[in-house]
Amino acid sequence: MKLSKLALDIAESPTFALNEEARLLRERGEAVINLGIGEPKNKTPISAMLASGAKLSSGEVKYTPPDGLPSMKKAVIRYTEDNYDRLAAPENVIVTNGAKQSLFNIFYSILNPQDEVIIIAPYWVSYPEMIKMCLGIPVVVTPEDGTFTPRFEDIERAVTSSTRAIVVNSPNNPSGAIYPPDLIEKIVNLCESRGIFMICDDIYHKLTFDRNVAPPAYSFTKKDVENSNIIVVNGVAKLYGMTGFRIGWVVAPRGLVTVMTNVLAQTTSCVSPIAQAAAEGALNGLQSVVEALRLQIENNRNVLLQELKSFRGARLIEPKGTFYALIDLRAFNPNSVELSKFLLKKALVVTVPGKEFGMEGHIRISFAGSISDITDGVARIKWALDSASPNEIYIGDKKMIRDWM
């Protein structure tokens, strides 16, 4: 069987692979704790359920315009005005099957073969693979000072005549870092002066802690949506805990939106009207659900920080947003893939290797789940790695003894 070399070169999604492994373990009755997936445990907001239910009950579940229902686009325009202080026209908005499709369609629409896109480590696992799928070249900028915040000078140095875009994800998956305002401002100015797109993956922009704020890129330009180099990607998956609805959107100059609309029309045709109705309901409903989720996740973060205080050898830069922590475990094993496999085998805890995010020697854990998952999961990881922790632990109803130290 002959298969496409382009397709064969695309790496498997590590998060989905690990989630599948966790599912199989659970089916076998194993007491596995999944700290790998980025998915809040809240229920879908009632406003979203009512709106999607009404659409389904109407029986009018047909094709929609490829760029999104006018009512959904209107909700996005209002959201953009409220949260970014920018007026967008309907032609500046496209609704997609999740923010992931938004990003892929952006790359597909702006890249020619061998064009470069700068991504900042640690980065979301799909960025480099998407860029390669679109025949582009991911150029990684990695902070050299042990933090998760890059120096502007290093970003500027990475720009070449082939650079088409810089991807900025703040708050950052997987580290929870929020980039400082002066860095965002410098990147905006760099992109405007060099004619480069600034792709803002803002999917976590309201999930911030300790009164920290992730400054939007639009704050640092006087240009409107149509004339700026800024592309904003967002969606309902994280802020509203609506991961399964697969609704994202892009706000960008209309020339790019037109091309993206053609791409979407020729691939998935359109976005489900039921899912769009749900997203519209969430955006137009009571926004207290977002704050309630944020407070819950902030509390989870605080519990995680407390649990890690007694973990000898583990180093963590405190997450300021998202629901992820990128823990430095190089004191135990510099190979994060081996480390994640070891933790799954010995402690039945799913984590994601930092190598997948451009940060070897780290593991990413999600604290979006329950308090018990966080406390029990960290206790198991400490038991598996830290010789100072108790030698015995119960995993499910099984008493386990550490015999590898």
User: pLDDT band for position 8 (50/70/90)?
Assistant: confident
Checking if the pLDDT of 14 tops 90, the result is no
Q: What pLDDT sits at residue 7?
A: 86
Q: What pLDDT sits at residue 10?
A: 83
Pairing state between β 93-96 and 248-251: antiparallel
Q: What pLDDT sits at residue 297?
A: 97
Checking if the pLDDT of 43 tops 80, the result is yes
Spatial separation of the C-alpha atoms in residues 395 and 347, rounded to whole Å: 8
Mean pLDDT for the chain? Answer: 95
Helices (H) and strands (E) in the chain, counts: 13, 15
Spatial separation of the C-alpha atoms in residues 242 and 293, rounded to whole Å: 12
Q: What pLDDT sits at residue 20?
A: 80
Closest CA to 188 of 221, 214, 165, 211: 221
CATH top class, domain 60-284: alpha beta
Q: What pLDDT sits at residue 309?
A: 94
- pLDDT tens-place string over residues 172-231: 999 999 999 999 999 999 999 999 999 999 999 999 999 999 999 999 999 999 999 999
- pLDDT tens-place string over residues 371-381: 999 999 999 99
Q: Which residue has the tokens 């406390």?
A: 375
Q: What pLDDT sits at residue 155?
A: 98
The answer to whether residues 83 and 106 touch, using CB atoms and an 8 Å cutoff, is no
| Domain boundaries of the chain, sorted by first residue | 5-43+288-386, 60-284
Spatial separation of the C-alpha atoms in residues 359 and 324, rounded to whole Å: 14
Query: What's at 145, amino acid-wise?
Result: D
Ranges 20-29, 192-201, 308-317: which has the least confidence: 20-29
Pairing state between β 362-366 and 352-353: antiparallel
- pLDDT tens-place string over residues 116-161: 999 999 999 999 999 999 999 999 999 988 899 999 999 999 999 9
Find all residues with CB under 8 Å of 110, minimum gap 6, and list them: 164, 165, 197, 256
What's the CATH fold of domain 5-43+288-386? Aspartate Aminotransferase, domain 1 (3.90.1150)
